[in-house]
Amino acid sequence: MTLLARLTTGFLCLTLMLCGAGLYLHPGIGSPWLQYFDSWLVSIVQFSIWQAFLSAFFSVLIATPIAWFLSRQAFRFQWVLKSLFNLFFIMPTLIIILAVVAAYSDWINVFSLKGILIAHLYINGPFAIRLIWQSLENISQEKYQLGRSIGFNQKQQFYWIELPVLLQAIKPVFLLIFIFCFSSFTIVLTLGGGPANTNLEVAVYQALKLDFDPKAAVLYALIHFLSTASIILLLGKRASFKMEYERLVKHIKPSSNHMQRLIIGVLLLVLLYPVTSLVAQAFSEPWIGSSRLLAALTTSFVIALFSAMLSILLSLGRAFSQQRRLNLLLDYGLNILPVMVITTGLFLLVLKLGIAFKVTHLLIIWVNALMTMPLLVPMLRNRVNVYQQRYAVIATAIGMPLATQFKYIYWPAIRGQIPWSVALAMVLSVGDLGVSAMVGSVNFVTLPILIYQAMGSYQMILASQLTLLLLVICALILLAAEWLGERKAHVKGR
C-alpha cells in the first residue's frame, strides 16, 4: 500500500515535471513573446470569462428554485432523478452537443454563444440542482422543528433556515461550474462557429493545430492555468465531487406534492427532449456507417479500458497516501490543472523528441487516467479512511502484514466501489474528444473523433447515429457496473 502510494506520488511528480519540461522546451517556433499580448489575447480571455460567467449564472439561477421545490418533501424514486442528473454530468459532452444541435437548430443558430450556453446548461444545470438539493436536504429536522415551535410561518422558515443554507451552497456551486465552463473545450470547439467564440482551451488547440505556434500554445495554457488556480483559491477548500449513486433515502414519504410533480414533469421533458431529438434524427435514415468505425471502436475501447485501470491504480495510490504536504499539494494540483495544459505540455515534449505519433495511445491513456482521478480519489479515500481509523492501530499492533491488511480490511471496503469507479473512468475516457483530437495523427480515429469529423463535414445524421452508438456504449458500461456492484453486494450479504 505504501509502495503503491509512493509509486503514485512519483508518477504524478514525473508527469508534472515532464509537462513543465514540455512547456519550457517547446519546439521554439513562433514570434517574439511580446507580440502575443495583442487584442486577440484580450478577446479570448474576455470571452472565456464572460462565457463561463453566463453559463454558471444561468445554471445556478435555474437550479436554485428547482432544487428548493424538490427538497420540500422527500419522494419515492428521487434516487432515479438524482442518477439522471449525475448522468447528464458524466455523459460524454459530444452526446449533449449533438442532442442540442438536433433539438434546437431549427429555432436558433446553435453554432454561437447561445448554443454554447444551452449545451453548458444541460450539463451543469442538473449538476447544480443536485448539489443545492443535497445541501437543503442536509438541514437537520431539528432546525425545522425548532422553527415550528417558535411559530415560523413558511416565509420565516425560508428566510431564517433555508436562505442561509442556499446562499452558502450557491457560491461554491457557481464557482465550480464557472471553472468547468472556463475549461470547456469540446463544446466551445464544436459550437463556437467562428473566431469570435474562442476560449483559452480552444486557443491552445488552434495554436497547435491551425497555426503550429507552440509558443502561443504555451502562453495560452499558462494563462489558463493561472486563472483557474486563482479562481480555485477563491473557492477555498477543495471542492467535493460526489458522483455515487445515492440510494439511501432518509425519511421517505412516498408521495410528492403537486408542485413537485409538475416540476419533475417539466424537468424530465426539458432534459429528455434533446435526447429524443437525437434518437429521432439518428433513426430518420438507415444506418450509414463508416469504414473506419471498427478501428475507431477498437481504439476507443482499448484506450478507455487501459486508462480506467491506470486511473484506478493511481486513485488507490492516492487514497492510501498519507496526507503530507507534498501529497496535499499534488491532489490540489490535479484538481486545478486543466487537462489541456497537461496534454499540451506532454505533447510538446514528445514532439520535441520526435516520437509524438508513435506514443499516441500511451499519451491518451496517461492523460485520460489523470483526468478521471479527481472524481475517483474522494470516493475511494472516504472508504479507506474510515477503515484506516477503525483498524490501522489494531492491525499494526498485532503485526498483520500489509498484504493481509489489504486483503481483509481494505479490499472488502473498496470492492463495492471498484465497478462503479472503473465504469466512470471508462465512460469519461470513451467520450473524450479533446485529448485525442489534440495528440492524434490524421489517421488516428476514436469514436468521438469520427463523430467530430462527421459533424465537421456536416453529415449530421451520420454524426447522430454514431453519437447514439456512443450513448449505448456508455449506458452498457454503466449498467454493467451497476450489475457487478449489485452482485458483489449479494455475495457479501450471504
Partner 1 sequence: MKLLFKPFLLSLLLASFSQAQTLTVYTYQSFTSEWGPGPQIETLFEAQCDCDVEFIGLEDGVSLLNRLRLEGQQTSADIVLGLDDALIEETKALNLLQAHGMTFENLDLPYAFNDDQFVPYDYGHFAFIYDDQKVTDVPSSLKELVEDSELSIIYQDPRTSTPGQGLMLWVKAVYGDESAQAWQQLKEKTVTVTPGWSEAYSLFLEGKSDLVLSYVTSPAYHMTWDETEQYKAAEFSEGHYVQIEMAAALKTSKEPELAKSFLQFLISTEAQAVLASTNWMQPVLKDAETPAAFDKLITPKTIYTPSSTVYKNRKQWLREWRSSAS
To partner 1, the closest distance from the beta carbon of 459 in angstroms equals 8
Q: Which of 90, 157, 76 is nearest to 428 (CA)?
A: 90
Give how far Cα 111 sits from Cα of 4, 49, 50, 168, Å: 46, 19, 17, 35
Contact between 290 and partner 1 per CB under 8 A: no
* Among 284, 298, 396, 404, contact with partner 1 (rule: CB under 8 A): 298
Q: Measured from the CB atom, is 162 or 213 closer to partner 1? A: 213
Could you tell me if 445 and 299 are in contact, meaning their C-beta atoms sit under 8 angstroms apart? Answer: yes
To partner 1, the closest distance from the beta carbon of 237 in angstroms equals 37
To partner 1, the closest distance from the beta carbon of 353 in angstroms equals 11
Q: Which long-range contacts (CB under 8 A, 24 or more apart) does 382-386 make?
A: 383/319, 383/413, 383/414, 383/417, 384/319, 384/320, 384/410, 384/413, 384/414, 386/413
* Among 272, 456, 475, 483, contact with partner 1 (rule: CB under 8 A): 456
Build a one-symbol-per-residue string for 142-171: x at contacts with partner 1 by CB under 8 A, - elsewhere. Answer: ------------------------------
Cα distance between residue 70 and residue 62, in whole Å = 13
- Tally of CB atoms within 10 A around 476: 11
Q: Measured from the CB atom, is 177 or 455 closer to partner 1? A: 455
Q: CA angle at residue 124 from 366 to 137, to 5 degrees? A: 110
Contact between 198 and partner 1 per CB under 8 A: yes
Q: Which of 276, 320, 309, 326 is nearest to 464 (CA)?
A: 276
To partner 1, the closest distance from the beta carbon of 428 in angstroms equals 19
Contact between 358 and partner 1 per CB under 8 A: yes
Q: Which amino acid is at 406?
A: F
Kindly indicate which of the ranges 132-140, 178-186, 206-214, 274-282 contains the residues binding partner 1, using the contact rule CB under 8 A: 206-214
* Among 5, 11, 18, 43, contact with partner 1 (rule: CB under 8 A): 43
* Among 98, 334, 348, 356, contact with partner 1 (rule: CB under 8 A): 356
* Among 147, 172, 193, 416, contact with partner 1 (rule: CB under 8 A): 193
Q: Measured from the CB atom, is 72 or 209 closer to partner 1? A: 209
Give how far Cα 260 sits from Cα of 65, 78, 318, 322, Å: 11, 11, 41, 45
Q: CA angle at residue 330 from 326 to 332, to 5 degrees? A: 115
Contact between 265 and partner 1 per CB under 8 A: no
Q: Measured from the CB atom, is 156 or 298 closer to partner 1? A: 298
Q: Measured from the CB atom, is 31 or 156 closer to partner 1? A: 31
- Tally of CB atoms within 10 A around 140: 9
Q: What's the burial of 198, exposed, middle or buried (CB within 10 Å: 0-12/13-18/19+)?
A: buried
Q: Measured from the CB atom, is 374 or 440 closer to partner 1? A: 440
Build a one-symbol-per-residue string for 422-441: x at contacts with partner 1 by CB under 8 A, - elsewhere. Answer: -------------------x
To partner 1, the closest distance from the beta carbon of 457 in angstroms equals 5
Kindly indicate which of the ranges 123-131, 418-426, 429-437, 450-458 contains the residues binding partner 1, using the contact rule CB under 8 A: 450-458
Could you tell me if 223 and 199 are in contact, meaning their C-beta atoms sit under 8 angstroms apart? Answer: no
Contact between 305 and partner 1 per CB under 8 A: yes
To partner 1, the closest distance from the beta carbon of 145 in angstroms equals 56
Could you tell me if 11 and 346 are in contact, meaning their C-beta atoms sit under 8 angstroms apart? Answer: no
Kindly indicate which of the ranges 15-23, 38-46, 72-80, 322-330 contains the residues binding partner 1, using the contact rule CB under 8 A: 38-46
Contact between 443 and partner 1 per CB under 8 A: yes
Sign of the CA dihedral running 417, 419, 422, 424: negative
Residue ranges in 77-136 that form contacts with partner 1 under rule CB under 8 A: 109, 111-112
**What DSSP state is assigned to residue 36?**
G
DSSP string, 375-386: HHHHHHHHHHHH
Kindly indicate which of the ranges 9-17, 260-268, 293-301, 380-388 contains the residues binding partner 1, using the contact rule CB under 8 A: 293-301
Q: Measured from the CB atom, is 9 or 467 closer to partner 1? A: 467
In this structure, what C-alpha cell is assigned to residue 426?
Answer: 471508462
Question: Which chain residues interact with partner 1 by CB under 8 A?
Answer: 31, 38-40, 43, 109, 111-112, 193-196, 198, 206, 208-212, 295, 298-299, 302, 305, 351, 354, 356-358, 441-443, 453, 456-458
